[in-house]
Amino acid sequence: MAVRVCPYDIGCEPSPSVPAETLLQDGWKTYLLFFAVSKRVGKTGNLKDLGVAVLDCKECAMSKFGYPNDEGLPEHPLYSYGMANAKSSVLEVMDSPWAKDVSQQRLESARRIWGGRGMDWSWARNRPERHFVITLKEATFECIASELIVERFFKGFDEAFAHVIQEFKKH
C-alpha cells in the first residue's frame, strides 16, 4: 500500500487562529494542549470555542513538535499524500514509513532484551504503532502512538497544566 493521510476524529479541532499549542511530555506520557474549537459551524455562523484541550497520546513511542507552521505546510513531506486537501487538522498517516521503523526498532529491542533472557517477548508484536499529525497555527505535532484521546477541556492553560502535572505524578 501507499502512504496516505486521512482525517482522524478527536471530537474537536485546534483553533485556526489562536497560537498557544504546548507539548508536555515525560518518560511515560505525552500530552498536547491547544485551544480547541468545534468541528462544525454553529447557529451563529462561527465555530464554538471549547477551551483548552488536553490531548493524551496513548502509548506514545516518539514525537516531533515544531516546524512547519501553517504557512510552511506545503514543504511538509506528507503534504502531497493527502495533507493538502484534508478536511481536518488532526490526521493519521496510513502505511507510514516512520511508524514501521519505530515498530521494527521496538521489536528488535524486545527480542534482544526479553528473548535474550529466555523470556516471552510476543507482547511486543501486537503493539499498535500509528503515526498521527496535528497541524497547528505555529507548529506541527507528530507522534507514534496507539491512539489520540481528548481527556478534557479546561477554561485556561493554568488548569490544563495542573491536570497534566497530576497525571505525571501518578507513575
Q: Which three cell numbers stand for residue 109?
A: 529491542
pLDDT digits (tens, 9 = 90+) for 11-53: 999 998 877 899 999 989 999 999 999 998 888 888 899 999 9
pLDDT digits (tens, 9 = 90+) for 128-150: 789 999 999 999 999 999 999 99
Whether the Cβ atoms of residue 37 and residue 12 lie closer than 8 Å to each other: yes
- What is the C-alpha to C-alpha distance for residues 44 and 34, in angstroms, rounded to an integer? 23
Length, in residues, of the chain: 171
pLDDT digits (tens, 9 = 90+) for 96-127: 999 999 988 888 887 787 777 777 767 666 77
- What is the C-alpha to C-alpha distance for residues 149 and 170, in angstroms, rounded to an integer? 18
Q: Is 91 helix (H, G, I), strand (E, B) or coil?
A: strand
Tell me the domain boundaries of the chain.
4-169
